Amino acid sequence: MSEFESVGKVDDFEIGRGKAVPVDGRMVAVFRQEDGSWHAIDDLCPHMGASLAEGHVEGTTVTCPWHAWRFCIVDGTWEDNPRVKTDCFEVKVENDEVWVREIETE
């Protein structure tokens, strides 16, 4: 499994908004939720490559800013067709530092 990478301090992430950060050579959208949970998915929308971190977040859904494709930030599922997914990442917070790593698929 890949190693966790530091992507910033907790205060670098606004509640209810995404932030694009580099992790292991790719861009990842990290989301800090009001309930204290953290989620991360691939930042690039699989449709045309828009930044999902720039999308509108409502609950656990982020809407792509270009063509309104909606993705679950918990598991990366495209909400209009669950067979399409974007990669997910594990997030942990330790001592005010946010860490992210890719979830290995089998």
How many of the other CB atoms lie within 10 Å of CB of 105? 6
What is the pLDDT at residue 2?
79
Locus of tokens 């309930």: 35
CA distance linking residue 19 with residue 40, whole number of Å: 9
Question: What are the average pLDDT values for consecutive 10-residue runs of the chain, which has 106 residues?
Answer: 91 97 95 97 94 97 96 96 92 97 76
Q: State residue 105's pLDDT score.
A: 62
CA 61 to chain CA centroid, nearest Å: 11
Q: What pLDDT is attached to residue 82?
A: 86
What is the model's pLDDT at position 16? Answer: 96
Between the alpha carbon of residue 70 and those of residues 22, 50, 66, 87, the distances in Å are 22, 12, 11, 14
